[in-house]
């Protein structure tokens, strides 16, 4: 559907009224939240508190979007595949818990290529405050101890851990039946979207 004068007027009104982009999109119908935001900006309706816009000065949102740098940064694109990997003992961070330390390997298997990448400023610990959906939350050390920190490498997309730690956390539930040979359908490695 297109932006008729009427729809534009509605957009203006609701936007200035303070409704969120998604609310407006819903009222209008047949448009996405993104469409609303995009149109609002093009109309010059702007400036509503954005979560991301909180910069007081320094960080000028230098976001290097796509297209920016073709050569310089080769992003590691893992290619493991998996289906139903039974979530093995997950690390239990939080304030107590003896720490995951060793989600025991029930079966050895070749270690995954592992994720290089190093987003962290050299030397600094990854603390609770650094956590986000995008960095590996695998705890290193024991909570409460001075040097406790998190892995901090980039996550395997849609997982809470990096590729290497996904391999730790999600392992196949191998047959425990003694009678049956464990020919094991093997490798349920972390899926990579």
Partner DNA sequence: CCCTGATTCGC
Partner DNA sequence: GCGAATCAGG
Which residues lie near DNA (CB under 7 A)? 1-3, 20-23, 31-35, 37-42, 46-54, 59, 61, 63, 65-68, 132-133, 158
The DSSP code for 51 is G
The DSSP code for 52 is G
Nearer to DNA, 120 or 142 (CB): 120
Nearer to DNA, 68 or 121 (CB): 68
Element (H, E) at 5: helix 5-17
**From the CB of 184, what's the least distance to DNA, in Å?**
28
Nearer to DNA, 128 or 184 (CB): 128
What torsion do the CA atoms of 179, 183, 185, 186 make, to the nearest 10 degrees? 110
**From the CB of 79, what's the least distance to DNA, in Å?**
17
**From the CB of 95, what's the least distance to DNA, in Å?**
20
Long-range contacts (CB closer than 8 Å, 24 or more residues apart) made by 131-138: 133/160, 136/160, 136/161, 136/162, 136/165, 137/93, 137/161, 138/91, 138/100, 138/162, 138/165, 138/168, 138/169
Nearer to DNA, 27 or 33 (CB): 33
The DSSP code for 95 is S
**From the CB of 142, what's the least distance to DNA, in Å?**
25
């Amino acid at each position: 559907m297109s932006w008729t004068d009427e729809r534009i007027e509605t957009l203006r009104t609701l936007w200035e009224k303070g409704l969120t982009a998604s609310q407006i999109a819903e009222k209008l119908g047949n448009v996405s939240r993104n469409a609303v935001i995009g149109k609002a900006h093009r109309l010059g309706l702007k400036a509503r508190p954005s979560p991301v816009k909180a910069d007081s000065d320094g960080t000028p949102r230098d976001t290097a979007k796509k297209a920016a740098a073709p050569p310089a940064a080769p992003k590691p694109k893992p290619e493991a595949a998996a289906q139903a990997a039974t979530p093995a003992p997950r690390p239990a961070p939080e304030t107590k818990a003896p720490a995951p330390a060793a989600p025991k390997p029930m079966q050895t298997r070749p270690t995954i290529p592992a994720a290089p990448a190093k987003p962290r400023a050299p030397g600094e610990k990854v603390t609770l405050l650094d956590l986000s959906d995008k960095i590996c939350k695998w705890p290193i050390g024991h909570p409460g101890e001075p040097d406790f920190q998190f892995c901090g490498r980039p996550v395997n997309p849609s997982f809470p851990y990096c590729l290497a730690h996904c391999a730790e956390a999600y392992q196949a539930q191998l047959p425990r039946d003694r009678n049956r040979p464990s020919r094991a359908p093997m490798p349920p490695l972390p899926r990579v979207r």
